[in-house]
Structure 1
């Protein structure tokens, strides 16, 4: 699991495609209930829109805890899926995008709808303020006392942090390290004879 981005606010954009107006809104969601509330608010904001299409991801973008989408009456696969794809392509987690469409009288066809919804999603995400998020792993290392300096040096060199230290017949150190650097930590520790356990 590597670094991804999380919303740090919200964004709203409108685009016009062949007289149809697409109003896109993006914000943070942490669970299904908050996603439902965002969708309800957008339906109230644009009550006469013909379609309110959406997609959201809870958790990391490529391996979400939960993801859902809706075409809301548009032809299957022309709205929700393109929106979801854009969220994943931008590597943003805990995000919902709702696109409300006012039909302008000109049919866009399946390809035109996919492009329009994807473009609305892309535009709103370029306006969405985000912060980077690095998933962390907690490890416990057991070593001889003379290896403590080496272990601390390895952890800090991999952007990790040293936590609680317990002294018994050996030394046990708790550390937190970015998940994308865990493999490097395990390799370096194995070379020094330091035993590392992930979790408790």
Structure 2
């Protein structure tokens, strides 16, 4: 068929996600018209089984070929999610805390230097009278951070 063009149109777009919020973890999956539990659920099981957080996995299926049946669909969606996640660049999830810090201007440079040791960043600065900073750093380092800066007003 010289000059012919074929366009593949997806018949099923199944997904699952797991997102951490301040109120807990939100988990959802969708079978996209496949038999119940055969598409979104196996995708979600892989995400949950590997304790992945803040992730969305979408699997697109085009009709054609042989009939898979419920078991075949479950394996196909699950294995596709497994392969996609296996090849993805996954970063470690680090819970961050935001703190407000008030200090004298003369201590700002020293504070910024020490904040870097805690892999912290300054989100905002206000120079009205004293310096008020909003900083962000890993939640696991907050107690140690507070011990290093006694006498500073930190909330």
TM-score tier by shorter-chain length is 0.5 to 0.7
Match of 1:184 in 2: 143
**CA distance in structure 1 between the aligned counterparts of 2:27 and 2:69, rounded to whole angstroms:** 29
Match of 1:99 in 2: 60
| Aligned counterpart in structure 2 of residue 194 of structure 1, from 146, 149, 152 | 152
Deviation of residue 98 (structure 1)? 2.3
Aligned residue pairs total: 143
User: What is aligned with 2:3?
Assistant: none
Partner of 2:9: 46
Residues 185 and 141 of structure 1, relative CA distance in 2, 3 Å threshold:
farther
Q: Post-superposition shift, 1:100?
A: 0.7
CA contact under 8 A between 1:158 and 1:181: conserved in structure 2?
no
Normalising by structure 2, we get a TM-score of: 0.61
Distance of aligned partners of 1:142 and 1:79 in 2 relative to their CA distance in 1, 3 Å threshold: same
- Which is higher, the Rg of structure 1 or of structure 2? 2
Alignment counterpart, residue 32 of structure 2, candidates 69, 72, 80: 72
RMSD of aligned Cα (Å)? 3.8
TM-score, normalised via structure 1 length: 0.51
Stretches of structure 1 that go unaligned for 5 or more consecutive residues are: 1-43
Q: Which runs of 5 or more structure 2 residues have no equivalent in the other structure?
A: 1-6
Rounded to whole Å, the distance in 1 between the matches of 2:68 and 2:92 is: 40
